[in-house]
Amino acid sequence: MNKLGLLTITFFIAFTFGEKKELSLKDCIQVGLTNGQDAKILHHGYQADHWSYQAYRAGLSPQIILNGSIPELDRSINRILQPDGSYEFHMQSHSSSNINLKLSQNIVATGGNIFASSNISREDAFGDTHTYNWRASPLVLGYTQPLFQYNHLKGAKNVESLEITIAKKQYVENKENLAVMITSSFFDLYISEQLLRNSEFNVTVNDTIYRISQGRYSVGKIAENELLQSELAVMNSQNNYHRNKLNYERNYEKFKSLIGFYEKDEFIIILPEKLENFNIKPETAIALAKRNGSSLISWQVQKLESEQAVQIAKKNQWLSADMTARVGYNQTAQNVGDLYKKPLDSEFFSIGFEIPITRSKNEMDLLAAEENKAKTDISAELFETEFEQNIKYQVKEFQLLEAQLKVATISDSIAVQQFKVAKERYLIGKTDVTTLFLAQNGLDATHRQYYQTLKDYWVAYYQLRKMTLFDFENKTVIE
């Protein structure tokens, strides 16, 4: 059993017995990519692309088709030509039935189609007497070939082979994008949880400070203004607590939905360990993104299609033709058993052609196709330049956040110690309440900055994974 399957079973057992499971960021991503509704949408979308490509490939294999009509009845008044050249209207009743079995195969190299067929039909005439006749073509071999035209079969094969490659890569990119979303939501939940804890702590601290202020005010050690500051701080901290509690509950339910947990499921999240210093170079990331991603291949398809449009427009400038050739046997008889006795030879050959005499439309179509190709080529070059820049600055952003996270961690520790000192000094009467509240506000702001930097750091890492389709921790391509 693979690791993800074992992880899913472990979660099921834990949730069945009501245990709160600790989930790391990687756990959440793995479960979200398996159970989440967004992940299931991505999976079905890729499966649709996969089967669409398989249907295309199946179309390149020999096709066997059985068709016919049994019966086709017609009873109507028709205009009938008379021997003297006049017309009379007469009631006619007849029926026809036919069955045709055909085996065909497209020839990608030439754009033609080779086929073999066999058919049988019967015609019945109803009137004063009932007459009927059978006709059969036991075997017909044929070939159709476009001449002086663009080979659409070959062009489609070139495009389809790239399209399925794009679909596979986009599926992986979309899953990595979902991992980015889960990471962002994970830290939104973590931040709201920490802010809730901080606000709960502030309620307790401010309530204690208010009680101390009441005592000091009663003995005349502080002014009324300082007492009012303490009372206001208690009310503000209570308001913040209720707001943060609501935000936490909202983010908790949102995250559960994103990773596909049921209503009864309960869990707590634990922070991931800081990543090792990868020392990623921009040129390395650019090379990985070009090799592993879908974007440049998508532009390759657009350039190929624009080139095909030019070739089609050029072919339409002059002669185009279609050749059809058939050889086989046929026979007609009153009885079915006589249809296959001494069948007669049958041959057919035709070349149809078309030459545009007024060529202005065709010339304008060619000019439009050439301009569209030029636009596509320039757009592809511009995209590649911007693509490289985006990768380059994503690497720099990640490196910057690595450094900022170190600073934010130290700053958070300093702010904690600063508030501890200010609180102790206030308790022994060495500082006023204003200084204490400034230290408290500074601590809250530093906490928020640390949490946000931590989130940005991990989101940037998974964003870099998505852009390069490379797992820098395990040094493997993401497939």
Round to whole Å and give the CA distance between 304 and 274: 44
Please state the rounded mean pLDDT for residues 15-19.
Answer: 47
Say yes or no: 144 and 168 in one domain.
Answer: no
Say yes or no: 348 and 218 in one domain.
Answer: no
Answer whether residue 365 is part of any domain.
no
pLDDT category at 105 given cuts 50, 70, 90 is: very high
Round to whole Å and give the CA distance between 66 and 309: 35
Answer whether residue 203 is part of any domain.
yes
Q: Which phi and psi (to 5°) does residue 139 adopt?
A: -155, 130
Q: Which phi and psi (to 5°) does residue 428 adopt?
A: -100, 5
How high is the pLDDT of residue 9?
Answer: 35
Say yes or no: 9 and 139 in one domain.
Answer: no
377-415 tens-digit pLDDT: 999 999 999 999 999 999 999 999 999 999 988 998 898
Answer whether residue 26 is part of any domain.
yes
For residue 343, the enclosing domain spans 64-107+112-150+320-355
Nearest residue to 71 (alpha-carbon basis) of 100, 99, 97, 98: 97
**DSSP assignments along 65-121, one per residue:** EEEEEEEEEEEEEEEEE-TTS-EEEEEEEEEEEEEEEEEEEEETTTTEEEEEEEEEE
How high is the pLDDT of residue 13?
Answer: 36
Distances (CA, A) of 297 to 155, 302, 372, 461, 477: 16, 9, 18, 24, 17
Round to whole Å and give the CA distance between 247 and 262: 20
Specify which of 123-137, 158-172, 354-368 reaches the highest per-range mean pLDDT. 158-172
Beta partners for residue 294, in sequence order = none
CATH (domain of 204): 1.20.1600.10
Query: For residue 16, is pLDDT > 50?
Result: no
Pick the residue with more confidence: 416 or 300? 300
Q: Tell me the CB-side half-sphere exposure of residue 334, using CA atoms within 13 A.
A: 2
Contact present, 322 and 354 (Cβ < 8 Å): no
Say yes or no: 381 and 459 in one domain.
Answer: yes
How high is the pLDDT of residue 112?
Answer: 95
Say yes or no: 332 and 255 in one domain.
Answer: no
Q: Which phi and psi (to 5°) does residue 316 adopt?
A: -75, -5
How high is the pLDDT of residue 314?
Answer: 92
How high is the pLDDT of residue 263?
Answer: 60
Contact present, 441 and 240 (Cβ < 8 Å): no
Answer whether residue 271 is part of any domain.
yes
**Peptide bond connecting 71 to the previous residue in cis, omega within 30 degrees of 0:** yes
Please state the rounded mean pLDDT for residues 406-428.
Answer: 86
Please state the rounded mean pLDDT for residues 53-62.
Answer: 94
Question: How deeply is 224 buried, as exposed, middle or buried, from its count of CB atoms within 10 A (0-12, 13-18, 19+)?
Answer: exposed
Round to whole Å and give the CA distance between 167 and 314: 31
Say yes or no: 331 and 299 in one domain.
Answer: no
The fraction of the chain above a pLDDT of 70, given in percent, is 96
Answer whether residue 171 is part of any domain.
yes
Pick the residue with more confidence: 478 or 5? 478
Round to whole Å and give the CA distance between 141 and 347: 10
Please state the rounded mean pLDDT for residues 204-217.
Answer: 86
The residues, any chain, with a CB within 8 Å of residue 360's CB and separated by 6 or more, are none
Answer whether residue 45 is part of any domain.
no
Say yes or no: 83 and 126 in one domain.
Answer: yes
Coil, strand or helix at 28: helix
Say yes or no: 178 and 292 in one domain.
Answer: yes
Contact present, 272 and 25 (Cβ < 8 Å): yes
Say yes or no: 18 and 89 in one domain.
Answer: no
Please state the rounded mean pLDDT for residues 156-179.
Answer: 95
- The set of long-range contacts for 243-249, using a CB threshold of 8 Å and a minimum separation of 24, is 243/199, 244/192, 244/195, 244/196, 244/198, 244/199, 245/196, 245/199, 247/192, 247/195, 247/196, 248/189, 248/192, 248/193, 248/195, 248/196
How high is the pLDDT of residue 383?
Answer: 95
Say yes or no: 133 and 163 in one domain.
Answer: no
Contact present, 330 and 137 (Cβ < 8 Å): yes
Say yes or no: 201 and 143 in one domain.
Answer: no
Query: For residue 8, is pLDDT > 70?
Result: no
Contact present, 391 and 282 (Cβ < 8 Å): yes
Pick the residue with more confidence: 427 or 232? 232
Query: Angle of helix 25-35 relative to helix 152-218, nearest 10 degrees?
Result: 130
Answer whether residue 42 is part of any domain.
no
Please state the rounded mean pLDDT for residues 231-237.
Answer: 90
Domain total of the chain = 2
pLDDT category at 19 given cuts 50, 70, 90 is: low
How high is the pLDDT of residue 38?
Answer: 94
Pick the residue with more confidence: 223 or 478? 478
Query: For residue 436, is pLDDT > 80?
Result: no
256-285 tens-digit pLDDT: 999 988 667 788 889 888 787 778 899 999
Answer whether residue 369 is part of any domain.
no
Say yes or no: 198 and 68 in one domain.
Answer: no
Query: For residue 207, is pLDDT > 70?
Result: yes
